Structure 1
């Protein structure tokens, strides 16, 4: 049995709780060996892995088992951390925020409960992955598209609850959430929105219902465990045309971002497009030692060679057009005329990049086809790993350039390449900075910690907040949202104490601790 127990939980108390849980799920669905627990750790850990190590793992099936397990945990005051598929890599994987927490693995709950072709939505359980729903739609002849992040093996629900983003016109994934079922710490089961009215036919077509809309408080929080969610899907358009525009200089991110804004806000570019840095393009398919075998960031000469070898720019804008051919033709004229104002801009279609690995997988993502190609970035260096630093920016050129220069300088100062992209919404961009480091290099792991700590602090000084964060930095990130004497966090803590007075639900998630303490 694990020696890592939550504070205040005795070995006898823990053993008694596990016996009760085995009686609920069956002995084969409770895991407490060191090997089992290690399998649920953060595989990209850069600090002491035991800091976020579970005490055991239990895998209930169905709502009844889930509520009974929560009841046992509550009675024994054992904290629980729910995961859907546990693929939250770069942000902590399947590990809990606090060591000694019991992991509640929900991936056995993987039913696609409904697909409504006419009203274009699906209802899924926590364990349903993007791959699973995509394949189901294709196998049944559906004309509906999903929206997917880069790695398609993750859970739809887990990614949605983290407010993850994708690349189709439905790229702001939580915007298309409609109705959920939540289990609270006291065992109460709540169906939100229209589903709270028994027999309502529009459960997953109108998300608000009557009265306060509460679904949002269950995202990036520890107020309850979501066991079912509705997700609205995109009907297949009559036409699809992906494209790439490359830009030659680092400072081009400023005019490019300003040019994107009106194109996005008027829906001429309808999807969640991306402006990718050179190093992100290169890391997907190249080994950095070909361009720089020493420590430290790749020098300018090496970066220029990467541009030539890959036929890309310092910045690379991927987007797509959707709709009837005449509409796409008209929109393409506007886009080409707009970006042509940037010196050195080059335009590419799918026909131009037939054998391009990066263009190929981005083409798939923008039409809702999940894949795993982007994990190629882990081959950028031996035993590669990465984490996410993800500040938000308005779709504004000066802000984009300032964030890029700030992140680049801090990454380079700590000996890392700047590797990132801007995922462009209609008014805001997610600036995803993905520093790649070697898991086998203790010095690099230490530098990653100091680098991200500095990135968060320096970004906050300029008013840039992260939209999500790695386990190790959740408290620090939460602290940057401190206006009004920490009024926002104090409100979250009041909700936490009301819904989970014993504090067993995912302690420390997003910096929310029921007692205000971080340990």
Structure 2
């Protein structure tokens, strides 16, 4: 593959582009990723447009003609062109760029591009009229969890980002904002900088995703406001019948038709707090969302290394009181040293000639030549405040971790300019970056799955989950890259399963690993907080206390709000009555069987 790639889109040219300050970094990342591909950009499609379930081509064409009349011909596009996986900044909205099953399996029939909330309402009413399932996306960068692929093949994807990408308000006094789905972390950050406001955003590891979309899927960042959904305030939602709803204080009309002035100041308002049912669900389409921003403050990033794998439980025990007492300033990360190799952007072949997981002694040998030194665990944190308070916090933290023999403390100034700590320092001070793309150079044509269970911040629990991961990654022959994102009383134990998307054997093993991780951890009482769409039914089925009371509750809400079952059926394992009991659930080894020519169509 050629190493010289066309420039990535700029933020000034495209809502999903990269800001000028990162143009050279984005170009280098793109060139590196494409140099590691050995498959063509696309292959001829074997099938024409994938029709929605129970829909003839004549009925579909009639429906599309009607939708084009409402939105404009150019804003409703059939998915009949070659499927191109692209990369992070130029990703598809037709399928999952990191496809586990066949590239043509989880595809939409068409893409619709609304420009306003009113047009979203029009699409929803159209879907009810023609009984065609719709699947809304914000920007489609939910990579590792299914990307833009609809759970029901043949659905019409509603791409909200392309034409609904306005920052509707930034309130410097209230430290809040209101955004549409197509506003990326890059775009929000750059606008705040342009206005010279002393405000921070909170962003995840990569900055190109949707602020709204990430929060609705309960993603996390790394400042003290890292729980994105917890720091939202106010939503405007199109319900599955096309009706418009505002939650929280937005339900109270403002003076003379204006928005309520407290809509971005107080979350619950009066009565039941309904916002939560619109996160990780298919109960409505969020078209506007308010967020709290952080006041600019002093900050200090740092890194602590620990020499032995068996230090893990002692590290967790040291973390817990620091987190619960709110000494730790942000949502820090505990990573295994294997990731210090991975995040350099160098391929696995640079470090190890074999195809099996890299042996521990090889990791140790190479780590000893890196700035982290010969260690096993690396803790990345950031403290906030003035110089005096930060020093006091760091003294407490260093004292706590110094009880682990061999622990070493580093500040950014102690490490080379290209070390990963400098990227973390930016992210932890609200500056969106692209460094995490370097993960994807590990294997050719690299894609990944996230396994993301929750464990208490307690050594006994964390060790169980970690041991399961160690054992099963070895069983299925994958390198283990664990990252623990630490909150006060829980940790997101996030494992990145990296595979070659052109290699069916690797994809089958990755799917089997994922399935066994879910089942084994759930048996011990640890469930995922978020998962890939192919495993949503399995994960939803693990939350089965009291004869599946939670799912029965979700289905009751779904059927009440969406009696025709048109909105994202199957998303997060929630199926409407129309699809229930008709073979749409994906369970057992069906994913593995579908790889390499099978199908995940419903089992009739």
Do the two structures share a fold, i.e. TM-score over 0.5?
A: yes
Matched residue SS, 1:386: strand
* Counterpart position of 2:261: 201
User: Which whole-Å CA distance do the structure 2 matches of 1:469 and 1:365 have between them?
Assistant: 24
- Alignment of 1:486 with 2:548, yes or no, is yes
User: Which whole-Å CA distance do the structure 1 matches of 2:337 and 2:447 have between them?
Assistant: 18
Matched residue SS, 2:153: coil
**Alignment counterpart, residue 269 of structure 1, candidates 323, 328, 335:** 328
* Counterpart position of 2:596: none
User: Which whole-Å CA distance do the structure 1 matches of 2:228 and 2:520 have between them?
Assistant: 29
User: Which whole-Å CA distance do the structure 2 matches of 1:299 and 1:311 have between them?
Assistant: 20
* Counterpart position of 1:62: 116
Superposition pairs of residues 419-434 of structure 1, within 5 angstroms: 419-434=481-496
User: Which whole-Å CA distance do the structure 2 matches of 1:308 and 1:27 have between them?
Assistant: 59
Superposition pairs of residues 346-495 of structure 1, within 5 angstroms: 346-495=408-557
Q: Deviations over 1:253-312 (max 9, x none)?
A: 211111111111111112011001122222111322122211110002211023112232
Q: Normalising by the residue count of structure 2, what TM-score does the alignment of the two structures yield?
A: 0.84
Q: Identify which range, 495-504 or 64-73, moves more after superposition.
A: 64-73
User: Which whole-Å CA distance do the structure 2 matches of 1:430 and 1:241 have between them?
Assistant: 23
* Counterpart position of 1:114: 169
User: Which whole-Å CA distance do the structure 1 matches of 2:190 and 2:416 have between them?
Assistant: 24
* Counterpart position of 2:594: none
* Counterpart position of 1:26: 72
Q: Deviations over 1:77-131 (max 9, x none)?
A: 1000000000010001111111111100001200000011111101000100010
CA contact (8 A) 1:408 1:417 kept: no
Q: Identify which range, 417-426 or 303-312, moves more after superposition.
A: 303-312
Q: Which has the higher helix share?
A: 1
* Counterpart position of 2:16: none
* Counterpart position of 2:30: none
Matched residue SS, 1:46: coil
User: Which whole-Å CA distance do the structure 2 matches of 1:500 and 1:440 have between them?
Assistant: 38
User: Which whole-Å CA distance do the structure 1 matches of 2:355 and 2:348 have between them?
Assistant: 11
**Alignment counterpart, residue 279 of structure 1, candidates 332, 338, 343:** 338
* 1:354 Cα offset (Å): 3.7
Superposition pairs of residues 136-147 of structure 1, within 5 angstroms: 136-147=191-202
* Counterpart position of 1:321: 383
Superposition pairs of residues 231-250 of structure 1, within 5 angstroms: 231-237=291-297, 239-250=298-309
- Alignment of 1:14 with 2:76, yes or no, is no
- Alignment of 1:4 with 2:57, yes or no, is no
CA contact (8 A) 2:79 2:111 kept: no
The Cα RMSD (Å) is 1.3
CA contact (8 A) 2:144 2:449 kept: yes
User: Which whole-Å CA distance do the structure 2 matches of 1:499 and 1:134 have between them?
Assistant: 36
* Counterpart position of 2:102: 48
Q: Deviations over 1:400-446 (max 9, x none)?
A: 12211111210111010111200001111111100111112221111
Q: Normalising by the residue count of structure 1, what TM-score does the alignment of the two structures yield?
A: 0.98
* 1:206 Cα offset (Å): 0.3
CA contact (8 A) 1:84 1:157 kept: yes
CA contact (8 A) 2:340 2:367 kept: no
- Alignment of 1:300 with 2:346, yes or no, is no
* 1:229 Cα offset (Å): 0.2
Superposition pairs of residues 331-350 of structure 1, within 5 angstroms: 331-350=393-412
**Alignment counterpart, residue 498 of structure 1, candidates 560, 571, 577:** 560
User: Which whole-Å CA distance do the structure 1 matches of 2:376 and 2:48 have between them?
Assistant: 49
Tell me the matched-pair count.
Answer: 518
- Alignment of 1:134 with 2:189, yes or no, is yes
Q: Identify which range, 440-449 or 492-501, moves more after superposition.
A: 440-449
Task: Give 4+ residue runs of structure 1 displaced > 4 Å after superposition.
Answer: none
CA contact (8 A) 1:2 1:55 kept: no
- Alignment of 1:179 with 2:241, yes or no, is no
CA contact (8 A) 2:334 2:378 kept: yes
- Alignment of 1:511 with 2:573, yes or no, is yes
* 1:162 Cα offset (Å): 0.5
User: Which whole-Å CA distance do the structure 2 matches of 1:49 and 1:431 have between them?
Assistant: 29
Q: Deviations over 1:440-489 (max 9, x none)?
A: 22211111111111111101110010000001100000010011111100
Q: Deviations over 1:124-165 (max 9, x none)?
A: 001000100010001110111011011111101111011000
User: Which whole-Å CA distance do the structure 2 matches of 1:452 and 1:86 have between them?
Assistant: 22
CA contact (8 A) 1:50 1:99 kept: no
Provide structure 2 residue ranges, at least 5 long, that are not aligned to the other structure: 1-46, 85-91, 255-259, 585-601
Q: Identify which range, 67-76 or 275-284, moves more after superposition.
A: 275-284
Q: Identify which range, 314-323 or 41-50, moves more after superposition.
A: 41-50
* 1:37 Cα offset (Å): 6.3
- Alignment of 1:188 with 2:250, yes or no, is no
Provide structure 1 residue ranges, at least 5 long, that are not aligned to the other structure: none
Matched residue SS, 1:154: coil
Matched residue SS, 2:378: strand
Matched residue SS, 2:245: strand
User: Which whole-Å CA distance do the structure 1 matches of 2:337 and 2:153 have between them?
Assistant: 38
* 1:36 Cα offset (Å): 6.8
* 1:220 Cα offset (Å): 0.5
Q: Deviations over 1:179-226 (max 9, x none)?
A: 000001111100000010111321011000000010000000000100
* 1:2 Cα offset (Å): 4.4
Matched residue SS, 2:499: strand
CA contact (8 A) 1:37 1:53 kept: no
Q: Deviations over 1:10-60 (max 9, x none)?
A: 212211111111112211111114227663211111212333111111111
User: Which whole-Å CA distance do the structure 1 matches of 2:454 and 2:568 have between them?
Assistant: 25
